[in-house]
Amino acid sequence: MATRYAFSIDLDRCIGCQACVVSCQAGNELADGEAYIHVGEQIRGKGSTLWGSFDHHRCFHCADAPCVAACPTGTLTKWNGLTVVDREKCSACGYCTDACPFKVPHIVDNHVSKCVACLDQVKEGQAPWCARTCPSQAIHFGDRETILAEAKAKVAALKARHPNAQVYGETQLGGLGLLMILLDAPEVYGLPVDPKAPAAMQVWQNVVQPASSGLSVLAAGVMGLMFVFARRQHGKERAEHERVAKEEVARKTAQPELKETQHD
């Protein structure tokens, strides 16, 4: 079985320095203003109840990725647990921007813009730029089993300080390829507790799309075949129609024309 890669982001370790954002932009040579990672902050309460945490908005690499299901051109595909991007194929249709339950993909300069999992780096055995750059070792990358076990151990250790700490992404959408170590409930971070890929999306890709192209081609083929027979039948009818019309003419006009008609 193929490797299943995953990221983990430990929000307890994250110091919000934006180093991952910058190394991602530099390593992937992103256009000005384009970013695959957005680091924000969550602050609640005042004084003694003050609570704060950074949060990361970026691709979760869902196993059952709705963006992959929606992508009509094969730009977005799954590769060893990661949702990878072949920008060359993108038509900028933007279906992925609506399909994603996390509102991650965007269209920038006529192509999709989202985390590409630094595929070139990973294929060479290196970790993605964000994981390699993080100065507080909040971002990890590797085999999903190992990453998940580490994340769970970290959460167990966090429970004393943060009773609601949890790993987000173990089971959602077939298991996310980015496991987030949260200090509180997902809602606090604006994350859907149980994101779902709509069943209709599968129906569309697996039934409607092939049926549409198949049935149109079938209709054209069948009608092409029928045309041969139908045209012959119609030709016979037209000839009869014409014969009757000519007889009518012959009956009503002079004899010489009758001869001509009979010649037919």
Partner 1 sequence: MTSATLAPAVDTVADLTPAVDPVAVTATHLVRRYVPAQQVIHWIGVISFFMLLLTGVALLFPPLSFLAKGGTSGVVHRIGAVAFILLPALYMLRMPRKALELVRESFTYGREDWEWFKHMPGYIFGSTRNLPPQGRLNAGQKLHHAATFLMFNSVAISGLLMWFAKGQLGPDGLSAIVIVHDISMLGLSVMMIGHVYFTFLYGALSGMVTGKVSEEYARMEHRKWYESLQPETPGAAEKTEARSAE
Q: What is the CA radius of gyration of the chain?
A: 32
262 binds partner 1 (CB under 8 A): no
Q: DSSP label at 196?
A: -
Among 144, 245, 254, 264, binds partner 1 (CB under 8 A): 245
Give me 129's structure tokens. Answer: 């730029």
Among 28, 66, 83, 186, binds partner 1 (CB under 8 A): 66
**Alpha carbon distance 218, 223 (integer Å):** 8
206 by Cβ neighbours in 10 Å (0-12 / 13-18 / 19+) ranks as exposed
Q: DSSP label at 105?
A: -
76 binds partner 1 (CB under 8 A): no
78 binds partner 1 (CB under 8 A): no
Nearest approach, Cβ of residue 149 and partner 1 (Å): 31
Nearest approach, Cβ of residue 40 and partner 1 (Å): 19
149 binds partner 1 (CB under 8 A): no
Give me 44's structure tokens. Answer: 């609640």
Residue position matching structure tokens 């963006």: 67
Nearest approach, Cβ of residue 57 and partner 1 (Å): 15
259 binds partner 1 (CB under 8 A): no
238 binds partner 1 (CB under 8 A): yes
Helix, strand, or coil (residue 254): coil
230 binds partner 1 (CB under 8 A): yes
Nearest approach, Cβ of residue 198 and partner 1 (Å): 5
Nearer to partner 1, 123 or 231 (CB): 231
How many CB atoms within 10 Å of residue 46? Answer: 8
226 binds partner 1 (CB under 8 A): yes
**Alpha carbon distance 117, 62 (integer Å):** 12
Among 7, 95, 129, 189, binds partner 1 (CB under 8 A): 95
* Cβ–Cβ < 8 Å for 128, 141: yes
Nearest to 140 by CA among 198, 87, 181, 94: 181
In the chain, the amino acid numbered 179 is L
**Alpha carbon distance 111, 108 (integer Å):** 6
Nearest approach, Cβ of residue 248 and partner 1 (Å): 6
Among 3, 4, 143, 204, binds partner 1 (CB under 8 A): 204
Q: Which residues bind partner 1 (CB under 8 A)?
A: 66, 70, 72-74, 88-95, 97-101, 103, 110-111, 196-198, 200-201, 203-204, 208-209, 211-213, 215-216, 219-220, 223, 226-227, 229-235, 237-238, 240-242, 244-246, 248-249, 252-253
